[in-house]
Structure 1
Amino acid sequence: MKKIVLYISAVTLLLQGCEDDFLDRIPETDITGENFFNNPKDLETYTNEFYDYLGASTSDYSTDNMAQYSQGSELEDKLRGTISPETVGGGWSWGQLRNINYFLVNYQKAEGDQTEINHYVGIAKYFRARFYIDKIKRFGSAPWYSKPVETGDEDLLYQANDPRELVVDSIMADLEFAVKHVKEDSDKTRLSKWVALAELSRFSLYEGTFRKYHNEINIGNADRFLKRAVSAADEIINSGSFSLYSTGNPTEDYRNLFAMESQSGNPEAIMYLDYDSSERTNQNGVVFDYYWGLSKSLADSYLMDNGTSFTTLTGNDQKAIIEIFENRDPRMAQTIMAPGYTRPGSPSPFVTRLSYGGYNQVKFWPKEENKLGWQRSYNDLMVYRFGEVLLNYAEAKAELETITQADIDKSINKLRERAGMPSLNMAAANTSIDPVLADQYPNVGGDNQGLMLELRRERRVELACEGFREQDMYRWKAGSTLAKPQFGIFIPELGEHDVTGDGVPDIAVLNSPEETSPIDDVPDAIKSTLAIYYLNEQGTPTDLYLSGGSQGFVGFNQDHNVPKSFIEPQYYYYPIPLNELVLNPNLQQPPGW
């Protein structure tokens, strides 16, 4: 990313008396409407700060894509009933919006090329749209502010939530302005027309499906958004400016897409965050076996390499980890660590730990030893990529019931071709419905039920660990699935087990330290190297259990001790912090809160 030549101070000042806290004021700086915003260069300087608002995810925290996460998350707290307006962490900060709106009421005094000026206005409106998209996804509605709020603005300081329709229409207007006026920048670390179109496609799909499946909000016009999701994605596809990254090696290309150091030459990257070993690093080096493990549910989603469903395979629920990756979609072993995987810098295969279930994440994991560890990685991270656009296009067309085989061929089957997988056939999908998918998404029906379910599978597999899963489940009104206990690998019996595929036992699972008979026959030389896991110690269950008692899938006793639940429709939102409602009693909590 280009270095930002000026940073606006992030200091937040408090208003006085009963007007404290709930709207962040512009900090005291030398930048004012009187001495700045004179020309396009000033506008560029100011909008450079906005790029710090961007981020990229490398995990699907606490969703059904994850078996265990030791650090906890807001979603985990919500599902276990420990989140409330009194305890919620936040999400009601307005400092970013204050800075954006300050620009949007002061840029008019700039003189110069109007095309240049509109370019930077488009950037500001894109970032305002993203700010409010986060509010809509989190709270369902929020007050819409189109200018900075000052101390004396009583009406704005105590403004109630605006209707969802008003906020969403304002978001769409901002994005449409950005699409029309932001340039087609060749520097993919900077905002471009294509970035605005990608966000427009992403949000339009979100809003269209949310309105379609959430009849409790009683808002129509879902098709309007789905059609815009299609047209925005189609413009990117037809531009010829982007394509899927591929070297023709389906066993490596998908993982390399996320492990490559620089995205600058990647035709799939629409926008990325630039990292550097000396100036700007990230946490890619801790996605593997540090805080979380991936789930059996995600692993089961990957098809067999002939295109059939793994979960319909005879004996699929009795396969140990050294069998589970055989003849599967190549993306599986490029997302989840397969037996025999060797960590960078290590001479021996890595022995998976059961503490997180046994399915380690390798997607985003650097391939170089010097990039491993906390804040030591500097692989670029994509904010938008062409693969997502293809998924958006196909799903929106399917929701509109206008999808054809030609649409699938130009979208989903491009992704499958890169992965070395058979093409998705629309007719075959609709005549062979996967019962596991049908159970996950019970509100999907109609003539294209099978196709819709396969599109959701494809999205889950292709975008795994990129931070989409929680909101996808919300917009599909499938939140109840998030409350189900998640499991790790299958353990056929108590005793020793090979998890690296070399024929030598690596771990052992025992009922307790006193009950060692299952490994009594193991040679001492091997026994001394085993990582041993106990289901009970000193008469008390440990963190782990097996779903079948003495055999089964690795589970976590927390799911027994503090079971998850999903309350409809309350848990599709997060509460506004209580102190904000004390400061502004006109605000309304989301449904159920």
Structure 2
Amino acid sequence: MKKTFRYIALSIIGFAVSCNDSYLERYPLAELAPENYFRNAQELQNYTNAFYNELPDALAIHYNNPHQADDEARNTLPDEFRGTRITPGSGGGWSWDALRRINIYLEHSHQCSDEQARLLYDGIARFFRAYFYFDKVVRFGDVPWYEKALGTDDEGLLKPRDSRKLVFEKMLEDIDFAIANGRQEKSAQLITKWTALALKSRMCLFEGTFRKHHDLGDWEEILQECVKASEELMEAGVYSIYKSNPNAAYQELFIAENAITEEMILARQYTEAIPLIHSANFYILSASYGRPGMQKSVVDSYLMKDGSRFTDIPGYRTMQFYEETQNRDPRLAQTIRTPGYRRIGSNQVSVPDFATCVTGYQYVKYVLSPAYDAGRNINDMPIFRYAEVLLNYAEAKAELGTLSQADVNRSIKLLRDRVDMPNLDIDMANTNPDPYLISEYPNVGTGANRGVILEIRRERRIELVKEGHRYRDLMRWKEGARLAKPFYGMYFPGAGEYDLDRNGTIDLVIYEGNTPTPVPGRQYQRLGELVLENGRNGGRIINLPDITKEWDEDKDYLYPIPLDELLLNKNLTQNNRWAETGG
């Protein structure tokens, strides 16, 4: 098989015992006790390979809620959207096993006399410690900082939470070490200097904009660190935006069996050889797993092919599927089924399948040929890619008020060039901010750069859709209330027969009363089961209209600390309003 499959195979078999949470307390084999290990480069590599298991898998990247947030509707809603989260008795993401393994390594790696190897693998360990704490800060805010592996009787286990600002300073120290000591050879499977720069770009954008929009202060320097990390990666010339046919290049990134290393900085690797496979085809095309569909607000966000705004067109809200998908940014047709869609490996034109998609806007991103439908996808999945770094750079500079047209030309323009879209013009964006985007992001502010910040958010949503970024973006922008809004799909004027792709053949029948006599090739949806916002008078498909959605601005941007942790450690304090509401 084509793949070397280096890091996943090694992380499974190279030091599998390290994944046993109790191993380093019990020392079942003397030769694997820390004081007798970490003696050479191979042992450092074997141990640190296990850290790669902390990276997201395909399910987390393309499917798990709430990561897709308001980009995607399904036939179920997570508790985050319903306002029904409760303080868990245990678990809830408050797990420190991975950190303990990292800290054990860092305490003992000095036992290796090979300094070059030690610096390399220490850098990898510190990358993963920064990665670990990034997740904890995003989820809980203030958390205890630990840089030593503590025993069960260590008083440090009962320390209070450290401030997110202190923790982030420590994270910056770790990631800067990883950058300074990382491999310079690019690899989509291994942590390198470039992966560390991409993580620094990501985590500094999150923290800087979170502090800014949540009024926590001290955000400018963090965003400047984002700019510096992004710029270092950009100026190195190691990565570029993958280009081929403008009507195919974007989709090709996500269906490639081997990660396209021109743009993919780090990817989760899959292969039939082990086998290690994933189920993107199955989750996207099955009637059994949520029937995911793009939300109409995302479709409305795509620009026209000439760069003008779709939402400036009179009557855009009531356009039907065929009309609304014409002459749009080519990324739309490379992300969902649009008229004329032919699946990979097939010459048959296919319209959206309402039995497997609740909104009608059915994803094609990550979907391979029917040969892979039975949960056997082998396309590599993106974890860090160069496009995100360019977006981070542009957004950080825009939020700082230092973005120039030259900055846009070296970032946003490259993404649009891939699909032959016109460039973003800063002056036009700021002179005439998009009213639609203002309504989408009411907390963006009223500064002089409001228009271009909104346009960068548009670009980010479109470019990174279904890659697991959206929930965190809403959290840092203080736009969580979007999750409590209705999720919509296609517009239909009411019951009737619909030729979705205008090829002269009826594709969909929306009916009332008794089921019509079936005609081969037609889909049937009963009005009322397919809920339109105005009932018989038509409207957009509305997802789960009977389920109440709530968002608490004072509470829901962070998760609660589990009750058993509060009982065990009286120095821990609960996040705002979780303790007093009991939920």
Q: What is the TM-score of this pair, normalised by structure 2?
A: 0.91
Taking the TM superposition and a 5 Å limit, the aligned residue runs for 1:225-304 are 225-247=222-244, 249-263=245-259, 265-279=260-274, 280-290=276-286, 291=290, 292-304=292-304
Residue 566 of structure 1 corresponds to 551
| Distance across 2 between alignment mates of 1:210 and 1:588 | 21
Task: Tell whether 2:487 aligns with 1:495.
Answer: no
Amino acid at match of 1:42: E
Amino acid at match of 1:240: G
- Deviation of 1:66 after TM superposition, in Å, equals 3.7
**CA displacement, residues 536-556 of structure 1 (integer Å, 9 cap, x when unaligned):** 4xxxxx3x3101222111113
Residue 523 of structure 2 corresponds to 531
Structure 2 SS opposite 1:443: helix
| Distance across 2 between alignment mates of 1:390 and 1:438 | 23
Task: Tell whether 2:550 aligns with 1:553.
Answer: no
Taking the TM superposition and a 5 Å limit, the aligned residue runs for 1:169-188 are 169-188=169-188
Taking the TM superposition and a 5 Å limit, the aligned residue runs for 1:87-486 are 90-112=92-114, 114-153=115-154, 155-215=155-215, 219-247=216-244, 249-263=245-259, 265-279=260-274, 280-290=276-286, 291=290, 292-344=292-344, 348-354=348-354, 356-366=358-368, 368-374=369-375, 376-444=376-444, 445-486=446-487
Structure 1 SS opposite 2:488: coil
* Contact in 2 for aligned 1:499/1:507 (Cα 8 Å): yes
- Deviation of 1:64 after TM superposition, in Å, equals 5.1
- Deviation of 1:59 after TM superposition, in Å, equals 4.1
Structure 2 SS opposite 1:330: coil
Amino acid at match of 1:145: Y
Amino acid at match of 2:562: P
Task: Tell whether 2:34 aligns with 1:58.
Answer: no
Residue 69 of structure 1 corresponds to 74
| Distance across 1 between alignment mates of 2:560 and 2:361 | 33
- The worse-fitting range, judged by mean Cα deviation, of 462-471 and 544-553 is 544-553
- Deviation of 1:101 after TM superposition, in Å, equals 0.7
**CA displacement, residues 147-175 of structure 1 (integer Å, 9 cap, x when unaligned):** 1111220x222222111111111111111
| Distance across 1 between alignment mates of 2:316 and 2:397 | 33
* Contact in 2 for aligned 1:60/1:469 (Cα 8 Å): no
Residue 38 of structure 2 corresponds to 37
**CA displacement, residues 258-298 of structure 1 (integer Å, 9 cap, x when unaligned):** 111112x5311112222112212122223523331111011
Amino acid at match of 1:320: Q
| Distance across 2 between alignment mates of 1:188 and 1:464 | 20
Amino acid at match of 2:269: D
Q: What is the TM-score of this pair, normalised by structure 1?
A: 0.89
> Which residue of 9, 17, 20 maps to 1:8?
17
| Distance across 2 between alignment mates of 1:294 and 1:340 | 18
| Distance across 2 between alignment mates of 1:552 and 1:117 | 62
- Deviation of 1:13 after TM superposition, in Å, equals 4.0
Task: Tell whether 2:574 aligns with 1:589.
Answer: yes
Residue 521 of structure 1 corresponds to none
* Contact in 2 for aligned 1:65/1:464 (Cα 8 Å): no
Task: Tell whether 2:575 aligns with 1:578.
Answer: no
| Distance across 1 between alignment mates of 2:25 and 2:393 | 40
- The worse-fitting range, judged by mean Cα deviation, of 90-99 and 492-501 is 492-501
| Distance across 2 between alignment mates of 1:535 and 1:321 | 18
Structure 1 SS opposite 2:160: coil
| Distance across 1 between alignment mates of 2:487 and 2:370 | 31
Residue 581 of structure 2 corresponds to none
- Deviation of 1:121 after TM superposition, in Å, equals 0.5
% of aligned pairs identical? 38
**CA displacement, residues 90-147 of structure 1 (integer Å, 9 cap, x when unaligned):** 20111111111110111112112x2321111010011011111100011112111111
| Distance across 2 between alignment mates of 1:211 and 1:580 | 27
- The worse-fitting range, judged by mean Cα deviation, of 395-404 and 159-168 is 159-168
Structure 1 SS opposite 2:489: coil
Count, aligned residues: 555
* Contact in 1 for aligned 2:71/2:465 (Cα 8 Å): no
Taking structure 1 as reference, are residues 496 and 583 closer, same or farther at Cα in structure 2, changes over 3 Å only? same
| Distance across 1 between alignment mates of 2:568 and 2:125 | 28
Structure 1: runs of 5 or more not aligned: 15-23, 517-523, 537-541
Taking structure 1 as reference, are residues 133 and 318 closer, same or farther at Cα in structure 2, changes over 3 Å only? same
Residue 520 of structure 1 corresponds to none
| Distance across 2 between alignment mates of 1:315 and 1:289 | 31
- Deviation of 1:493 after TM superposition, in Å, equals 2.3
Taking structure 1 as reference, are residues 88 and 255 closer, same or farther at Cα in structure 2, changes over 3 Å only? farther
Structure 2: runs of 5 or more not aligned: 579-583
* Contact in 1 for aligned 2:188/2:261 (Cα 8 Å): no
Taking structure 1 as reference, are residues 60 and 6 closer, same or farther at Cα in structure 2, changes over 3 Å only? closer
| Distance across 1 between alignment mates of 2:136 and 2:150 | 18
| Distance across 2 between alignment mates of 1:34 and 1:361 | 51
| Distance across 2 between alignment mates of 1:90 and 1:28 | 30
- Deviation of 1:349 after TM superposition, in Å, equals 3.1
- Deviation of 1:323 after TM superposition, in Å, equals 1.7
Taking structure 1 as reference, are residues 67 and 164 closer, same or farther at Cα in structure 2, changes over 3 Å only? closer
| Distance across 2 between alignment mates of 1:262 and 1:128 | 28
* Contact in 1 for aligned 2:338/2:351 (Cα 8 Å): no
**CA displacement, residues 329-373 of structure 1 (integer Å, 9 cap, x when unaligned):** 00011111113323345564334233511111111112x332223
Structure 1 SS opposite 2:393: helix
